[in-house]
Structure 1
């Protein structure tokens, strides 16, 4: 891909300005900017489009430390003014979950969810994931251009997470549309209005769905969460709604964009593609390198400093917002030799990349994401080994919304079986 910036020519001030602006050029290729920040401003104050000053952490060692630092709180209710400015009042109804909480509440919520969202439950989905994958590919035209993101990458994890939660099939499209609106980043009055409407609709839908699961348990995850409890009791109705939302949202968007990133980079690197599908072990290893090389979760969710924190030569003042760039940390040359080269045979990458975070908030859905990625890629390239991008790799468009939650493609035009 043609780089939009030249990191070696960029001053710290220019790199900070580029990251703050979230311009189309930066969104197309943020890696040179992150390289400049790692080199000269690894803990960098930004002024992003949401209007709340934020410190961005870009080096691997700093990222690991920050992800596990209890002084960086995930409880956005504690930073209520900043929360309201970024998300608005309506978001609170969906954000009372383990993603936006600290111990002991986070510990309790995660423990209850963990009793139901088990590796055994995830593994039991394998035949269903394979079936959904095959059915989606059966519907795709083989010899005509197809937007794989729309026809495959997004529907697959949506159907899987809905299957896991127990969302009826005829209700999934509407739930996806509301989720898509919530995921869109915008800070103007119209964007706020659309966001509030979608959040209200999602909340009402989940309240009704939970009530149905309570009346007629079906063995799916949401039904299990309704009855799950530990020594501190069960989830409240409010916590159930918010937990269902975070599982639906996190279990859908991030995996969809990650599958798209993987397909794009493998199609752009034929030798890496060949190595990735020699056998199941090679595919599993390739998936981990893709998580490192182009993770779909570019930055951690917000944290805020509960006290003054000195990191390297920078003081993060009490109350300041902090984001950790997982994308930048995963390309740190101090940790990963030749980090801008995708190497599906890179050793020990699963144990070291930060695509799923670290510490108490390590992604609870990581096993499901790995399962979906491995099945999706092995099946897709197994059935269509000659698949090709439409146009040149550098012509593919990346998401360019102002402050995206995800690093992913806007579209992925391919021909599955070129003549």
Structure 2
């Protein structure tokens, strides 16, 4: 058996991610070791360590693996850490399914996430964007993440779920704990609390006890059928927990990081603000590519696979590094730059690289981002970043904890 090639470092090392994505290491791997083996030593993140994993870092390989669920399965989890089966289901729900089970869930949920349904959400998304901006409009300085965007996507998801206003702060707090822990025992415990709460909402909707006009998604979700089958209240609860954790952090991250990116490339912001509607579709895609809010997901090999002169064994963990694929210079010219007028025949992989697990919430995220930036440009045209961002310490979410800004009033 050939010894797996290791690069002399491991992407499981927290020190590589102190200042955001480990692009230096990922650049090296794309050029020299497109398939590499990484150990999982004991770290502050995961004291017990792990059994190691393969890394795919090129756009072409990530896209191909994403489309091949028969070989690279999500069924054993999309988290780096190995979890018991019950934790796998609680953490990711539909993300951690494959085959017929995943197809059934996706078919039912897809009945809800239609372009028509999402289009009807535009007025309430606009209302939440305006409320968020109003909080800082009369200030001289503010924190983009804490003061402006932190709860914007959360309020929209809570509207769809029919979450009472008084319950929202605690639910949003729990979501933050679950995301920050990412695979730890505390995170799992918090996820079960979110699932329990969401399951209760589903049970009320199924019994006809949810009357709020805003709980549109929840009512449709408990009533949706495919081939005579509906989701159980437990399954609805897990899906809503996924919607909360996935939708809140990724959208807030994309907006915050997107505003920071435009501070580095101000000409892009100026051009977009001058012709917002026509540039918006490409600008949103470019921001999502540049940011790549979820930096990786895991797959598990279902058979032995030969790639790049090495053998991935059945049962091995394989990480798809989306943050690397979206910086692949063979696909995106000057990939490190933000360019709203980028010409590329290849789509970015930030929404999952295509295939059966392409992000169901992509259209909602695009709509939220577009509406938020339009409102921001109109209400605070002189808002600017005033200092360096404080980054989340993670190799999973490319997030910001803080981003100091000014409204430009002074």
Same fold (TM over 0.5): yes
User: What's the secondary structure of 2:218's corresponding residue?
Assistant: helix
Partner of 2:380: 384
Of the three residues 138, 141, 145, the one matched with 1:145 is 141
Please state if 1:212 is matched with 2:204: yes
Of the three residues 351, 354, 359, the one matched with 2:349 is 354
User: What's the secondary structure of 1:44's corresponding residue?
Assistant: strand
Partner of 1:341: 337
1:97–1:243 Cα contact (<8 Å) kept: yes
Partner of 1:405: 396
CA distance in 1 between partners of 2:21 and 2:206 (Å): 47
1:272–1:344 Cα contact (<8 Å) kept: yes
CA distance in 2 between partners of 1:87 and 1:217 (Å): 35
1:143–1:416 Cα contact (<8 Å) kept: yes
Q: Structure 1 343/93 Cα, relative in aligned 2: closer, same or farther at 3 Å?
A: closer
Partner of 2:94: 98
User: What's the secondary structure of 1:252's corresponding residue?
Assistant: helix
Q: Which runs of 5+ in 2 are unaligned?
A: none
Q: Structure 1 88/179 Cα, relative in aligned 2: closer, same or farther at 3 Å?
A: farther
Q: Structure 1 45/418 Cα, relative in aligned 2: closer, same or farther at 3 Å?
A: farther
User: What's the secondary structure of 1:113's corresponding residue?
Assistant: helix
Q: CA deviation at 1:196?
A: 4.1
Partner of 1:4: none
Partner of 1:6: none
User: What's the secondary structure of 2:244's corresponding residue?
Assistant: helix
Partner of 1:31: 23
Please state if 1:233 is matched with 2:229: yes
Of the three residues 260, 263, 280, the one matched with 1:283 is 280
Q: What per-residue deviation string (whole Å, max 9, x for no partner) do you get for residues 160-183 of structure 1?
A: 111122222221111111111111
Partner of 1:58: 57
Q: What per-residue deviation string (whole Å, max 9, x for no partner) do you get for residues 204-250 of structure 1?
A: 21222112112224451112111211115111232122111112221
Partner of 2:34: 42
Q: CA deviation at 1:72?
A: 0.7
Please state if 1:320 is matched with 2:311: no
| Aligned length in residues | 392
Q: What is the alpha-carbon root mean square deviation over aligned residues? A: 2.3
Q: What per-residue deviation string (whole Å, max 9, x for no partner) do you get for residues 79-111 of structure 1?
A: 9xx98x644676345247321111111111000
Q: Structure 1 96/259 Cα, relative in aligned 2: closer, same or farther at 3 Å?
A: closer
Please state if 1:414 is matched with 2:405: yes
CA distance in 1 between partners of 2:355 and 2:95 (Å): 12
1:108–1:232 Cα contact (<8 Å) kept: no
Q: Which runs of 5+ in 1 are unaligned?
A: 1-10
Scaled by the length of structure 2, the TM-score of the pair is 0.89
Q: CA deviation at 1:29?
A: 4.5
2:92–2:242 Cα contact (<8 Å) kept: no
Of the three residues 106, 112, 115, the one matched with 1:110 is 106
User: What's the secondary structure of 1:290's corresponding residue?
Assistant: helix
Partner of 2:75: 75
Q: What per-residue deviation string (whole Å, max 9, x for no partner) do you get for residues 144-169 of structure 1?
A: 32111112222111011111222222
CA distance in 1 between partners of 2:361 and 2:264 (Å): 28
Of the three residues 297, 320, 331, the one matched with 2:294 is 297
Q: CA deviation at 1:275?
A: 1.7
User: What's the secondary structure of 2:401's corresponding residue?
Assistant: coil
Q: Structure 1 175/126 Cα, relative in aligned 2: closer, same or farther at 3 Å?
A: same
1:90–1:199 Cα contact (<8 Å) kept: no
User: What's the secondary structure of 2:400's corresponding residue?
Assistant: coil
User: What's the secondary structure of 2:318's corresponding residue?
Assistant: strand
CA distance in 1 between partners of 2:138 and 2:326 (Å): 35
Greater helix share, structure number: 1
2:196–2:237 Cα contact (<8 Å) kept: no
2:304–2:311 Cα contact (<8 Å) kept: yes
Q: CA deviation at 1:338?
A: 1.5
